[in-house]
Amino acid sequence: MLLDLRKINNLIDLWLDEDVNYYDLTAKIMVEDEAVANFGMNAREPIILSGLKIAEMVFKKMDPDCSFVTNHKDGDRVEKGETFAVVTGNAQGLLTAERVALNLIQRMCGIAGLTSQYVDAIDGTGATLIDSRKTTPGLRMIEKYAVVCGGGRSHRLGLDNGIMLKDNHIAVAGSITAAVQRAKAYAPILTKIEVECDRLD
């Protein structure tokens, strides 16, 4: 799954605005304006990486000239205690961005790690693990991306990504057959049509 970096960039503005408001009062008081910091991002437990690019974008919002160095990519397994990224730049800016960046990395790595456990559990069965739209409002793109980093597959990012007929749609149409016929009659030619089933018959 690909990240829409334009949308992510807009989300980062919202996330930082929520966390910082006008400015980081503590960093402004405690840290000299020109001070330079070097932060290592370390794994406190074995993890599946997810969100490296997003974390970099968060830090660069607060210090566009900072460097974000990593030898890893999303989807990599990282062991406990391993440093998976190093950020260097203006200390005030990096301290201000730190919590938002870490919150995102932690959430995304957590989703990727749990997904990986489920993927391993069904290995060899022929089944494919897919996500759903049951995501945290405002975080869908990054949560579904984290599922992919953990080895799962993405289903629909939004309602416009495909047609999925559920019991309510079938009830309105009168039958599964009528619902499928209507969907086929009006759907764009390359659109996939699925019917959600609750019984094998």
> Which positions are annotated as active-site residues?
134
**Contact predicate 2/154, CB 8 Å:** no
Distance between CA atoms of 53 and 91, rounded to whole angstroms?
20
Element housing 84 (H / E): strand 83-90
Q: Which residue has the tokens 């990240």?
A: 3
Per the listing, tokens 């330079």 go with 36
How many CA atoms are closer than 13 Å to the CA of 155, on its beta-carbon side?
Answer: 14
**Measuring CA to CA, how many Å separate 122 from each of 20, 62, 118, 194?**
42, 42, 6, 22
Amino acid at 176: I
